[in-house]
Structure 1
Amino acid sequence: MTSLSVLRKQLRIQRRQLNRFQQRQAEQRCLQHLRTLPEFQSAQRIGLYLHAFGEVSTKAIIWTCLKQGKKVYLPVICNMNQQLRWVKINAGQYRQQRFSRHHLGMQQPMTNQSWPVSHLDLLIMPLLACDSQGMRLGMGGGFYDRTLAQAAYQPFRLGLAHEFQYLNQQLPVRVWDQALNALITPKALRRFKIN
């Protein structure tokens, strides 16, 4: 079994090597799968992320949500407890890219008003890897795991990834790790049985 740090490094490199066409194709195929998901169809408050490190692009998903009248929320890191809070954005804010760059490299909305993850119906998360049990390997900061572990109510947790990020091997599970309910890749929509 490859160590998690080596695995993270390999997957980051592989993700960055995808060209624009491959990224666009992945985005469109993932969106097609997402549209068939009942939890997406019924969700009104959707937590998403702004892609920044080679993840599957969320641009088409964000525009689809906004056009369907769904409310889109983006994460901000709360410096006090290192958990994520969720900020509602509208089409104008997204079009004008009114975001600030966090010192970890991702963009986040600028606002004072934010909500806990329990406010969301559906949470679409980035990841570096996901195994056959729905365990998610993130970038290493633990923000999503920490946030979900403390949540009063859990939204439906959906991972978004390239096909090579889905692993047939099992990832080591740590006490704080939070599993996904489902994973979408360009190739498939997979559901997981989680406790």
Structure 2
Amino acid sequence: MTLDLTHLRTTIRKQRRVIGSFQQKKAEQTVLNRLIRLSKFQQAQKIGLYLHAFGEIHTHKILEYCFTHQKSVYLPMICNMNQRLVWVHISQHQYRNQRFSHHPLGMKEPMQTRGLHVSKLDLLIMPLVACDIFGTRIGMGGGFYDKTLATAPQKPYRLGFAHDFQLVQQRLPRASWDQPLDALLTPHSFLRFQR
């Protein structure tokens, strides 16, 4: 039996959208508490993060933690020429003043026009729709992270963030262009994968 990825995406995205604010805050705090104990996070200076927009694990507290612990924060911006992501450095001031533009796909992006190649980051924290126990990550369907990471086979360390229900037990199909994770962090689990 083949897994219907369209159905899986639709089902999990619906589940994400109905998470209440209390549950989201609790999940965010739990993930942050686990994240700060990871050596990969402690050692990382340049960290790629995302601004939550679709019910993903929220990142506000994680961003603030990075700012107060002198870590450089980079947010993704879609390059329209090649549909890959570039990583734009953002300051605490820019973040707090919401200096972002709205992308047609529904998320906020930094307003700068230039960014770093993903390989310049030490750690990349990624949202996802689903992940299996082998590190196969299913995103929103645009392939932006996959296209971008295909150009950076070694660095950065790839860490997925997910709610517990986004970790699926059934093996997800992995196409040749799919870029697997190095690890997955949820409120109740941490999995390392062989990439």
TM-score above 0.5, yes or no: yes
Tell me what 1:193 maps to.
Answer: 194
Q: Is the contact between residue 134 and residue 192 of structure 1 (CA under 8 Å) also seen in structure 2? A: yes
* Structure 1 unpaired stretches of 5+: none
Q: Is the contact between residue 135 and residue 173 of structure 1 (CA under 8 Å) also seen in structure 2? A: yes
Tell me what 1:41 maps to.
Answer: 42
What SS is found at the alignment partner of 1:171?
coil
Superimposed CA distance per residue, residues 86-129 of structure 1 (whole angstroms, 9 cap, x where no aligned partner): 00000100000100000111100001231100110000000000
**Do residues 12 (structure 1) and 13 (structure 2) align?**
yes
Percent of aligned pairs sharing the same letter:
56
What one-letter code is carried by the residue in structure 2 that aligns with 1:84?
A: L
- The change in CA–CA distance for 1:15 and 1:69 in structure 2 (over 3 A counts) is same
How far apart are 1:133 and its partner, in Å? 0.2
Once residues 113 and 193 of structure 1 are traced to their aligned partners in structure 2, the CA distance between those partners, rounded to angstroms, is: 33
How far apart are 1:76 and its partner, in Å? 0.2
Once residues 14 and 149 of structure 1 are traced to their aligned partners in structure 2, the CA distance between those partners, rounded to angstroms, is: 29
Tell me what 2:183 maps to.
Answer: 182
Q: Is the contact between residue 124 and residue 158 of structure 2 (CA under 8 Å) also seen in structure 1? A: yes
Tell me what 1:150 maps to.
Answer: 151
**Do residues 164 (structure 1) and 165 (structure 2) align?**
yes
Q: Is the contact between residue 3 and residue 172 of structure 2 (CA under 8 Å) also seen in structure 1? A: no
Cα RMSD, aligned residues only: 0.9
Q: Is the contact between residue 33 and residue 188 of structure 1 (CA under 8 Å) also seen in structure 2? A: no
Q: Is the contact between residue 74 and residue 109 of structure 1 (CA under 8 Å) also seen in structure 2? A: yes
Once residues 70 and 33 of structure 1 are traced to their aligned partners in structure 2, the CA distance between those partners, rounded to angstroms, is: 17
Once residues 112 and 131 of structure 1 are traced to their aligned partners in structure 2, the CA distance between those partners, rounded to angstroms, is: 35
Q: Is the contact between residue 49 and residue 126 of structure 2 (CA under 8 Å) also seen in structure 1? A: yes
What SS is found at the alignment partner of 1:145?
helix
Once residues 151 and 137 of structure 2 are traced to their aligned partners in structure 1, the CA distance between those partners, rounded to angstroms, is: 17
Once residues 112 and 175 of structure 1 are traced to their aligned partners in structure 2, the CA distance between those partners, rounded to angstroms, is: 31
What SS is found at the alignment partner of 2:160?
strand
- The change in CA–CA distance for 1:174 and 1:152 in structure 2 (over 3 A counts) is closer
Once residues 154 and 133 of structure 2 are traced to their aligned partners in structure 1, the CA distance between those partners, rounded to angstroms, is: 24
Once residues 185 and 177 of structure 2 are traced to their aligned partners in structure 1, the CA distance between those partners, rounded to angstroms, is: 23
Give the stretch that moved more between structures: 66-75 or 144-153. Answer: 144-153
Matches within 5 A, 1:74-89: 74-89=75-90
Superimposed CA distance per residue, residues 111-170 of structure 1 (whole angstroms, 9 cap, x where no aligned partner): 123110011000000000000001100000000000000126420000000000001110
Tell me what 1:70 maps to.
Answer: 71
The TM-score, its normalising length taken from structure 1, stands at 0.97
Tell me what 1:52 maps to.
Answer: 53
What SS is found at the alignment partner of 1:144?
helix
Tell me what 2:100 maps to.
Answer: 99
Give the stretch that moved more between structures: 1-10 or 149-158. Answer: 149-158
Once residues 32 and 189 of structure 1 are traced to their aligned partners in structure 2, the CA distance between those partners, rounded to angstroms, is: 12
How many residues align structurally? Answer: 194
What one-letter code is carried by the residue in structure 1 that aligns with 2:101?
A: S
